[in-house]
Amino acid sequence: MSESGHSRRNAELYLCIWDMVQVTQPAGAPRARSSHAVAVVGDKAFVFGGEFEPRVPIDNLVHVFDLVSQTWSILDCKGDVPSPRVGVAMVTVDKVIYVFAGRDKEHEELNEFYSLDIETGVWKLLSSGTKSPPNRLYLH
Q: Is the pLDDT of residue 18 over 90?
A: no
CA distance 97 to 47: 11
Catalytic residue, chosen from 8, 31, 85, 103, is 103
The identity of residue 2, as a single letter, is S
pLDDT band at 107 (very low <50, low <70, confident <90, very high): confident
pLDDT for residue 80 = 98
Per-position DSSP letters for 25-78, written without gaps between them: --TTPPPP-BS-EEEEETTEEEEE--EEETTEE----EEEEETTTTEEEE---E
Pairing of strands 78-79, 122-127: parallel
Higher-pLDDT residue of 115, 67: 115
What pLDDT digit, counting tens, does each position of 21-60 carry? 776 666 678 888 999 999 999 999 999 999 998 888 999 9
8 is catalytic: no
The closest of 81, 71, 90, 82 to 140, measured between CA atoms, is 90
Higher-pLDDT residue of 136, 65: 65
pLDDT band at 63 (very low <50, low <70, confident <90, very high): very high
Domain boundaries, the chain: 37-131
Provide the whole-model pTM. Answer: 0.78
Residues 57-70 have a mean pLDDT of 92
